[in-house]
Amino acid sequence: MNTVIAAIDLGPSSVRVLYHASGFARLLSARLEVLHVSGEVREFVESRVLDFCTRIGPDEIDPADLDIVARSGTVSDTIYREARNKASLVVMGSRGHRGLANLFLGSSSKAFLGNTPCPVLLVPTADVDIVDIADRASLTCGPVLAAIDLTEACGHQLELASKCARIAGQPLLLMTVAPARFGVDAATDMLRDRAQQAGLVPDALIVRRGRVAEEISRCAAQEGAGLVVMGLRSRPRSTPGVVAAAVLKTNSAFVLAVPGC
């Protein structure tokens, strides 16, 4: 099923998570589900979430139209179960006041991002939006930056980055932070090969040196990219989401984390 899940904890970032989840649901012609994980009685929690959305939710969203789901259990496991069979995208905040606050910056990151069944849009703490739902939904992220790991293969990452760029009507930029063993020309050729294999013609190929998260953040800021599309590492000894979380902490861009890379 084509569903966008807004995973909210009723904390400070929940309004923006809901706003962007609604925007992407409209852009993708998808159903919107609002998910809250709590150990309390389900009927009480659903009522509280509806009250939250009614009182301080975005004006452009009618709370009566929301599909509100309350679940109990571990935050990461519960979101995984809810998303597994129906979600095309999960939208979450990087800060909050309860379970979601530490999901990407703490020990739960591997539990969820290592097994996420679908892409995850991470909403930064900076007060910036990349969708506009005032009238007809639009993606206002500026250029889309696909941060490519040359040692991993992830065609789905490029497909999503290209789709977002088309929706936004903005340039698609491919960049990599090249390992020392790759020369700049060789890394550029590898980026070009990745694009050709995916049938894409990017607007720019960018090669950087240095610390991965810092260079991705600098590149996004210099290029004015409000959306960074990244793969989640699949290596046995790596922790999925570490670089994505680091980019979130050092930059105001949104991160779209794609599994299977």
Q: What is the 3-state secondary structure (H, E, C) of the chain?
A: CCEEEEECCCCCCHHHHHHHHHHHHHHCCCEEEEEEECCCCHHHHHHHHHHHHHHHCCCCCCHHHCEEEEECCCHHHHHHHHHHCCEEEEEEECCCCCHHHHCCCCCHHHHHHCCCCCCEEEECCCCCCCEECCCCCEECCCCEEEECCCCCCCHHHHHHHHHHHHHHCCCEEEEEECCCCCCHHHHHHHHHHHHHHCCCCCCEEEEECCCHHHHHHHHHHHHCCCEEEEECCCCCCCCCCHHHHHHHHHCCCEEEEECCC
What pLDDT shows up at residue 107?
42
What pLDDT shows up at residue 93?
83
What pLDDT shows up at residue 90?
94
β-bridge partners, 87: 3
Domains and CATH numbers, the chain: 3-123 (3.40.50.620), 141-258 (3.40.50.620)
| CA separation for the pair 14, 12 (Å, rounded) | 6
Low-confidence spans in the chain with pLDDT less than 70: 1, 41, 95-114, 233-241, 251
Nearest to 17 by CA among 116, 118, 90: 90
Query: Model confidence over 149-161: pLDDT tens digits?
Result: 988 877 899 999 9
Output the furthest CA–CA distance in the chain (Å, rounded). 59
